[in-house]
Structure 1
Amino acid sequence: MIRKAKMSDVFQMKELINSYATEGCMLPRSLDSLFTNIRDFVIMEHDGKVIGCCGVHPDWEDLGEVVSFAVSKPFTRQGNGSLLLDACIEDAKTVGLGKLFVLTSSPDFFKKKGFEEIKREELPWKIWADCVNCSKYPDCNSISLIKDI
């Protein structure tokens, strides 16, 4: 089941996201960040447990960023990531976003979903505010992709 995230999901979301962050696959999230941005997220639930999450953070005009996209390892490669991303895209449309971008070290998944690689410099400068606080800055290995929705 996929639904909008609730405050009661935050601890499980943090655990899932940070399990990937410890592997260097994504940025960690604090409880404060997740509680503050809860409206940005949808989650996938199985037997009452959060097994996936994905957020869309509006960044500029009609542009949003896909953030903290994670699926619990026992549930990967089964189409769950696609369903979760599709739900995020639909959620993004409801607030009037026309484009989504993602910074990722796994571009193939997003390319299969219609995202196209772009130069990071083509994105608005506003997105760099998060980059400067990243532990990988300035030696980022993320690939920038964008999609019209």
Structure 2
Amino acid sequence: MILRKAVMPDVEAIYTLIQQYAEEGLLLSRSRLSLYENLQSLTVAEENGRVIGVAGLHILWSDLAEIRSLAIAPDSKGKGIGKQLVLQLIQEAESLGIARVFALTYQVAFFEKCGFQLIQKESLPQKVWKDCMNCKKFPTCDEIAMIFYIPSLVPVP
């Protein structure tokens, strides 16, 4: 399995992965147009020429980014692929000088294993909620906010 930046031919596989989870209400749906427009922010896990995972690093401010659209193919779950993607995106954020990376999730235990901690959604800047306007759960979002502080860039509170 390799991790690499997404390329145009990956979009259909990425779309299919995300839609699977969006239909279950576990991820925000993404249009193909959105995937094309944000392709440079996506990292994929590939095995034998097949995209088996995806995650995006969405920069929101000078010191804040979000991990979004984390999806693993059902037959590839439990192999540590999600954690590898998250750690890769944290490393990417660090290389960009971004001190904090957050996720809105239902998978609290998973993100805790990746070093994230619980925070109040209200502690995140309003800009974070831009995508929430398109979500069918708005304004009654039940996702949990979690954050990772990059030690080399900010002391952990």
The C-alpha deviation readout for 1:26-45, integer Å capped at 9, x for no partner, is 11110110000011111000
d(CA) in 2 for partners of 1:101, 1:110? 10
Equivalent positions of 1:1-149 (< 5 A) are 1-149=2-150
Q: CA deviation at 1:130?
A: 1.2
Letter in 2 for 1:122: S
| Deviating 4+ runs (over 2 angstroms) | none
Question: RMSD over aligned Cα, in angstroms?
Answer: 0.9
Contact 1:60-1:124 at 8 Å conserved across structures: no
Aligned length: 149
d(CA) in 2 for partners of 1:95, 1:134? 29
Q: CA deviation at 1:94?
A: 2.2
**SS of alignment partner, residue 15 of structure 1:** helix
d(CA) in 2 for partners of 1:105, 1:79? 18
**SS of alignment partner, residue 92 of structure 1:** helix
**SS of alignment partner, residue 24 of structure 1:** coil
d(CA) in 2 for partners of 1:66, 1:29? 14
d(CA) in 2 for partners of 1:128, 1:86? 24
Letter in 1 for 2:148: K
**SS of alignment partner, residue 132 of structure 1:** helix
Letter in 2 for 1:132: M
Structure 1, unaligned runs of 5 or more: none
Identity %: 41
d(CA) in 1 for partners of 2:115, 2:87? 11
Contact 1:114-1:147 at 8 Å conserved across structures: yes
User: Normalising by the residue count of structure 1, what TM-score does the alignment of the two structures yield?
Assistant: 0.97
Q: CA deviation at 1:91?
A: 1.6
**SS of alignment partner, residue 77 of structure 1:** coil
d(CA) in 1 for partners of 2:93, 2:9? 22
Letter in 2 for 1:60: W
Tell me whether 124-133 or 27-36 shows the greater mean CA deviation: 124-133
Structure 2, unaligned runs of 5 or more: 151-157
Letter in 2 for 1:136: K
User: Normalising by the residue count of structure 2, what TM-score does the alignment of the two structures yield?
Assistant: 0.92
Contact 1:99-1:147 at 8 Å conserved across structures: yes
Letter in 2 for 1:15: T
